[in-house]
């Protein structure tokens, strides 16, 4: 529900704030006072087109804010989640238009795109005016209206579930088909690469081992000579290290015989002598066993070059090449079994398509069965609204399209196989035409009011706005329009700009818009009317500028009639419920 609308520096509005209530809110005032500017302001904050000319002369920017109290509605909750809106209690939309033509949009204080603003606003407000015919004037909404009227939500849910399953299978099938179309080429490529790797047959860690071996073979003579020289120096005759350590150990033993504290050092020196002798023996074995081997040197060098060349071709380490080979082998195995998988997937997809077709046919039949009752109900509403010669036809036709997803020649979508459009014949003998082609703004507004009356209490949109629903009417028809608006107000918030007292009298909240010249500038003002002030305004609308006791008495009577409510609403709801069970 729209609870507050604040407008700054827009057209003749300097700064204006209006509070709205549930039910029917009426806005009255002299022509040119700024009533329709409020609708333009609301359209602007809901994502409508911005014109620089709307910015008040002398101001840098115009600003509109709309505060909504949000209902608990699953569809709206899902939309807000999708758009990243967290606070579900209140929603503040804000739009700023500068004289440079730049425009900014905000949702709960955070910058938003105009498309985001439009998507959120579309679920909150429906505007019918000379400047904007939203929602139900759009043929895309007619299918939703018929389904809502007919109570086909469970049918739609069943089809949507089957459609989603079908779409998932189709995506999986198409991906496998594409893979199979390139399978021969891909399989050949994989086999070539696997063969190339297998020809080298790399092993993990092999490159490091070969690098060490090459270093050893390349310096075999130097390593052998050096090892044998060290052996002689450590354990050879004469002044070798091991002999000198032995003599030092004998002398230290003599000293330890005189001082027992030296015994540990004797043991340490003996251990050192043994370790030196062991090192000498190992060097001897190493030096005597190492021989220059040109043949092995060439083989190791060629092997290392082959491994490094393989790593370069696959842009990674040798372990990466080995991992890549395993992955390619797995993919090749999958490709070899893909044909059998495709056959199974095709069968599952065909079964899912048959199930979706059954749901779509059932939904289409239900729509066609209910279309006539919706047509009759809306036509009856039009008659009450002074369009007695008008008739509405709800047309249910196959949805044009082609491809695999068809039902009896019609395109299959998650919403079914039908194209639904409301056609209206404003006068007897005229061919029905789409709602959007109705020339008269007043006729279109009343047609949409009739449809909204039929759909009272249905749908997630909580606020309806009517700007010119009273165009070309008066008397009893105007009173009927007031009753109808009040009836819609029992289920939705309604904002109606009107020039007729018969309609204004039914408002649960009455706002009066006026303009004054202050400081040489024209400014719009809005104030709620109650009690005697409201009687005076209704009397002014009845009798013009000269207020008489007769006009005041008539105003009081009109307000009394409006206060008694809308007796036809219950009958309308019963009629729809009865239609649902036919």
Distances (CA, A) of 553 to 105, 380, 478, 548, 563: 48, 33, 19, 9, 15
Same domain, 84 and 194: no
Residue 353 lies in a domain: no
DSSP string, 114-157: HHHHHHHHHTTEEEESSS-B-GGGSGGGHHHHHHHHHT-HHHHH
Same domain, 19 and 107: yes
Q: How far apart are CA 579 and CA 558, in angstroms?
A: 34
**Residue (of 313, 399, 335) closest to 363 by Cα position:** 399
**pLDDT value for 63:** 93
Q: Which of 336, 362, 394 is the last residue of a domain?
A: 336
Residue 171 lies in a domain: no
Residue 544 lies in a domain: yes
Q: How far apart are CA 205 and CA 216, in angstroms?
A: 17
Q: Which of 305, 336, 367 is the last residue of a domain?
A: 336
CA 280 to chain centre: 78
Residues 457-497: tens digit of each pLDDT: 666 678 888 887 777 777 788 888 888 888 888 888 999 99
Same domain, 204 and 326: yes
Burial 207-217 (b: 16+ CB within 10 A, else e): beebeebbeeb
DSSP string, 386-423: T-TT-EEEEEEEEPP--SS-EETTEEPBTTBSEEEEEE
**pLDDT value for 458:** 67
Q: How far apart are CA 177 and CA 315, in angstroms?
A: 30
- Residues near 18 by Cβ (< 8 Å), separated by ≥ 6? 4, 5, 38, 511, 526
Residue 395 lies in a domain: no
pTM: 0.62
Mean pLDDT by 10 residues, the chain (582 residues): 91 88 91 81 86 84 91 75 77 90 88 85 77 63 88 92 94 83 80 89 85 78 81 78 84 86 89 88 83 79 85 86 90 74 87 94 95 90 80 91 86 93 84 74 74 73 81 80 87 89 92 84 86 92 82 90 58 38 39
**pLDDT value for 440:** 60
Q: How big is the chain, counted in residues?
A: 582
What is residue 495's three-state secondary structure? strand
Same domain, 108 and 23: yes
User: What is the arrangement of strands in the sheet containing 433-434, beginning at the earlier edge strand?
Assistant: 391-398, 418-425, 433-434
Contact 448, 422 (CB under 8 A): no
Direct distance between the N- and C-terminal alpha carbons of the chain, in angstroms, rounded to an integer:
34
Residue 424 lies in a domain: no
**pLDDT value for 207:** 82
Q: What's the half-sphere exposure (Cβ side, CA atoms, 13 Å) at 189?
A: 7
CATH of the domain at 575: 3.40.50.300
Q: What's the half-sphere exposure (Cβ side, CA atoms, 13 Å) at 342?
A: 15
Q: How far apart are CA 28 and CA 546, in angstroms?
A: 17
| Residue 241: Cβ within 10 Å count | 18
Q: At what angle do helices 338-384 and 568-580 cross, to 10 degrees?
A: 150
Q: Which of 290, 306, 336 is the last residue of a domain?
A: 336
What is residue 244's three-state secondary structure? helix
Same domain, 119 and 218: no
**pLDDT value for 157:** 92
Q: How far apart are CA 350 and CA 286, in angstroms?
A: 75
Residue 420 lies in a domain: no
Same domain, 105 and 209: no
Residues 156-177: tens digit of each pLDDT: 999 999 999 999 999 988 888 8
Dihedral of the alpha carbons of 133, 394, 399, 459, in degrees to the nearest 10: 60
**pLDDT value for 568:** 36
How many domains does the chain fold into? 2
Q: At what angle do helices 206-218 and 294-313 cross, to 10 degrees?
A: 150
Write out the residue range of the structural domain in which residue 514 sits: 2-124+461-580
**pLDDT value for 130:** 55
CA 133 to chain centre: 25
Q: How far apart are CA 247 and CA 236, in angstroms?
A: 14
| Residue 380: Cβ within 10 Å count | 17
- Residues near 38 by Cβ (< 8 Å), separated by ≥ 6? 5, 7, 16, 18, 27, 497, 513, 526
Residue 76 lies in a domain: yes
**pLDDT value for 48:** 83
**Residue (of 540, 536, 382, 551) closest to 473 by Cα position:** 382
β-pairing, 493-497 vs 463-466, is parallel
Same domain, 92 and 214: no
Same domain, 234 and 311: yes
Residue 373 lies in a domain: no
Same domain, 296 and 191: yes
Same domain, 194 and 320: yes
**pLDDT value for 466:** 86
Same domain, 29 and 109: yes
Q: How far apart are CA 101 and CA 215, in angstroms?
A: 75
Same domain, 195 and 330: yes
527 phi and psi angles, rounded to 5 deg: -145, 145
Q: How far apart are CA 490 and CA 314, in angstroms?
A: 72
């Amino acid at each position: 529900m729209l609870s507050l609308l604040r407008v700054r520096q827009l057209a003749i509005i300097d700064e204006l704030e209006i509070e709205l209530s549930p039910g029917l809110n009426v806005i009255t005032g002299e022509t040119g006072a700024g009533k329709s500017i409020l609708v333009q302001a609301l359209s602007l904050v809901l994502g409508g087109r911005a014109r620089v000319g709307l910015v008040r002369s002398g101001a840098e920017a115009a600003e509109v804010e709309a505060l909504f109290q949000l209902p608990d509605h699953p569809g709206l909750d899902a939309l807000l989640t999708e758009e990243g809106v967290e606070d579900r209690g209140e929603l503040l939309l804000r739009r700023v238009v500068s004289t440079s033509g730049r425009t900014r949009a905000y949702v709960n204080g955070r910058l938003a795109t105009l498309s985001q603003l439009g998507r959120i606003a579309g679920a909150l407000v429906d505007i019918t005016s000379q400047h904007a015919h939203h929602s139900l004037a759009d043929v895309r909404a007619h299918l939703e209206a018929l389904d809502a009227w007919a109570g086909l939500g469970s049918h739609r849910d069943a089809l949507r579930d089957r459609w989603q399953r079908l779409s998932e299978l189709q995506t999986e099938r198409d991906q496998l088909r594409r893979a199979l179309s390139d399978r021969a080429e891909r399989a050949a490529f994989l086999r070539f690469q696997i063969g190339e790797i297998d020809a080298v047959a790399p092993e993990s860690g092999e490159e490091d081992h070969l690098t060490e071996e090459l270093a050893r073979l390349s310096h075999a003579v130097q390593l052998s000579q050096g090892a044998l020289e060290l052996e002689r120096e450590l354990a050879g005759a004469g002044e070798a290290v091991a002999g000198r350590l032995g003599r030092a150990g004998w002398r230290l033993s003599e000293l330890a015989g005189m001082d027992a504290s030296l015994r540990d050092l004797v043991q340490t020196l003996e251990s050192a002598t043994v370790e030196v002798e062991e090192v000498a023996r190992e060097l001897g074995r190493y030096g005597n066993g190492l021989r220059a081997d040109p043949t092995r040197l060439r083989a190791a060098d060629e092997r290392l070059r082959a491994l490094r060349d393989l790593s370069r071709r696959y842009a990674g380490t040798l372990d990466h090449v080995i991992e890549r080979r395993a992955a390619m082998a797995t993919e090749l195995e999958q490709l070899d079994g893909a044909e059998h998988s495709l056959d199974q997937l095709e069968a599952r997809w065909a079964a899912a398509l048959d199930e979706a077709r059954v749901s779509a046919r059932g939904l289409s039949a239900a729509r066609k069965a209910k279309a006539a009752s919706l047509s009759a109900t809306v036509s009856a509403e039009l008659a009450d609204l002074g369009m007695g010669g008008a008739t509405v036809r709800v047309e249910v036709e196959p949805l044009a399209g082609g491809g695999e997803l068809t039902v009896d020649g019609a395109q299959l979508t998650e919403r079914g196989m039908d194209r639904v459009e409301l056609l209206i014949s404003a006068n007897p003998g005229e061919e029905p035409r789409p709602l959007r082609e109705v020339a008269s703004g007043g006729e279109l507004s009343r047609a949409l009011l009739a449809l909204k009356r039929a759909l009272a209490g249905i749908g997630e949109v909580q606020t309806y706005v009517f700007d010119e629903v009273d165009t070309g009417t008066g008397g009893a028809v105007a009173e009927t329009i007031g009753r109808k608006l009040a009836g819609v107000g029992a289920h939705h918030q309604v904002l109606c700009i009107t020039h007729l007292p018969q309609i204004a009298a039914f408002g649960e909240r009455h706002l009066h818009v006026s303009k004054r010249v202050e400081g040489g500038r024209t400014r719009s003002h809005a104030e709620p009317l109650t009690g005697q002030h409201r009687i005076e305004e209704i009397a002014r609308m009845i009798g013009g500028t000269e207020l008489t006791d007769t006009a005041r008495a008539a105003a009081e009577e009109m307000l009394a009639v409006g206060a008694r409510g809308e007796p036809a609403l219950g009958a309308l709801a019963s009629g729809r419920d009865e239609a649902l069970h036919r």
